[in-house]
Amino acid sequence: MSEQTLFIVKPDAVARKLVGQIIARFETKGFKILKLKMFTFSKTQAQEFYAVHNTKPFFGELVDFITSGPVVVAVIEGNNAVATTRILVGATKSYEAAPGSIRGDFGLGISDNIIHASDSKENFEKEAKVVFE
């Protein structure tokens, strides 16, 4: 089933010049890139984007990190895009991510974990509105 999802190459990966390698993994897997842009989150955008975490103790740190530099955001389309992207990305904690996954190969920790990927169709729709509207 063809569907859309979103991923964000985070500031740590942009700073390490990993954008091309990360995007290539999605293209190699057969995903079509529908939208692609580079920008820096405002604090307000970041708070809205991560609103689901606003009661958690790490919320401020998360907002500070995602606003610390430019990100690259993409909307992609392909078969089972949400689930397949989550597998490609790997576990949230880079040290738990499987070798061969993006976080397993490039991640350095929990917050500097290279990439964000929508975890559901509903969250994709919310997240895309924040970054593309």
- Number of structural domains in the chain: 1
CA 64 to chain centre: 16
Q: Is the pLDDT of residue 55 over 90?
A: yes
Q: Is 16 flagged in the annotation as binding?
A: no
Domain around 32: 2-132
Task: Note if 53 is an active site residue.
Answer: no
> Residue 59 burial by CB count (10 A; 0-12/13-18/19+): exposed, middle or buried?
middle
Tell me the whole-structure pTM to 2 decimals: 0.94
Q: Is the pLDDT of residue 111 over 90?
A: no
Q: Is 54 flagged in the annotation as binding?
A: no
Q: Is 92 flagged in the annotation as binding?
A: yes
Q: Considering 66, 72, 116, 117, which one is annotated as catalytic?
A: 116
pLDDT tens string 71-90: 999 999 999 999 999 999 99
Q: What is the CATH number of the domain that holds 8?
A: 3.30.70.141
